[in-house]
């Protein structure tokens, strides 16, 4: 029995726009973010969604609520889908992080599995938490189509794990605000297959997230 899971990243916030680390800080969508969520709503309008889950953070909840305006589906809050706890980095830009914690932002960029965010959460721990939530949701909705709205690191680590790709490649495969990915889960075989990764053709090109190519 196969379950289809649609993974949507939330729309833009003012902290996204300012390039500040958000983490667990509860920032709402800005006006562009609401518009992006509407783009996702239109893209998914004809998809029959049986169940919907979101991170408890309001940027994800607001995005999910806008998408569900086209569906008669209740929204379930799943606490384990929250974004990476960015600890002492929350509210800071990359430049501010480099000033306060020299060298750490470069590690975050080029070797995420080795970064240590002060009072924060490791990428590996996010992957363990988020992947467990993903599988629990899939198993609780056999044969159905499920919407999950969450965050860049949360959703990316799920996808990377399914694909067997190192977390260190996370910035080479970014997720656009209000972009979506589709995963097909064979419950009987405990197997997940990625059908689409960061589909964002419904988002204006200037708003799409581009890969951060690494210079080594």
Q: Choose among 176, 192, 133, 184: nearest CA to 43.
A: 176
Catalytic residue list contains 83: yes
Whether 5 contacts 146, CB under 8 Å: yes
| pLDDT above 70: residue 214 | no
Q: How confident is the model at residue 1 (pLDDT cuts 50, 70, 90)?
A: confident
Quick one: pLDDT at residue 215? 36
Domains of the chain plus CATH, in order, are 2-84+122-207 (3.40.50.1240)
Report the alpha-carbon distance of residue 65 to residue 149 in Å, rounded: 10
Tens-digit pLDDT profile for residues 54-87: 999 999 999 999 999 999 999 999 999 999 999 9
Mean pLDDT of 167-182: 96
Q: Choose among 105, 53, 83: nearest CA to 153.
A: 83
- In angstroms, what CA-CA distances link 153 with 24, 42, 168? 12, 25, 12
Report the alpha-carbon distance of residue 104 to residue 119 in Å, rounded: 14
Out of 12, 80, 83, 90, pick the active-site residue. Answer: 83
Catalytic residue list contains 10: yes
Q: How confident is the model at residue 212 (pLDDT cuts 50, 70, 90)?
A: low
Angle (nearest 5°) at CA 179 between 55 and 173: 95
Query: Residue 164 contacts by C-beta under 8 Å, 6 or more apart in sequence?
Result: none
Report the alpha-carbon distance of residue 139 to residue 192 in Å, rounded: 12
Task: Provide the pairing of β-strand 2-9 with 180-186.
Answer: antiparallel
The DSSP letter of residue 25 is S
| pLDDT above 60: residue 26 | yes
- In angstroms, what CA-CA distances link 203 with 32, 35, 52, 107, 198? 11, 10, 21, 30, 11
């Amino acid at each position: 029995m196969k379950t289809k899971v649609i993974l949507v990243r939330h729309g833009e916030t003012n902290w996204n726009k300012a390039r500040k680390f958000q983490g667990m800080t509860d920032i709402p969508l800005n006006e562009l973010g609401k518009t992006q969520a509407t783009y996702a709503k239109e893209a998914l309008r004809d998809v029959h969604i049986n169940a919907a889950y979101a991170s408890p953070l309001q940027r994800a909840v607001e995005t999910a609520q806008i998408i569900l305006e086209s569906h008669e589906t209740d929204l379930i809050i799943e606490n384990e889908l929250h974004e990476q706890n960015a600890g002492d980095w929350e509210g800071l830009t990359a430049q501010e992080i480099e000033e306060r914690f020299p060298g750490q932002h470069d590690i975050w960029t080029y070797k995420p599995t080795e970064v240590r965010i002060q009072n924060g959460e490791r990428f590996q721990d996010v992957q363990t938490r988020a992947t467990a939530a993903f599988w629990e949701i899939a198993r609780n909705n056999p044969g159905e189509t499920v919407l999950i709205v969450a965050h860049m690191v949360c959703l990316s680590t799920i996808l990377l794990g399914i694909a067997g790709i190192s977390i260190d490649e996370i910035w080479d495969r970014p997720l656009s605000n209000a972009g979506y990915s589709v995963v097909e889960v064979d419950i009987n075989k405990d197997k997940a297959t990625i059908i689409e990764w960061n589909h964002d053709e419904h988002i204006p090109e200037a708003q799409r997230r581009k890969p951060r190519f690494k210079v080594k």
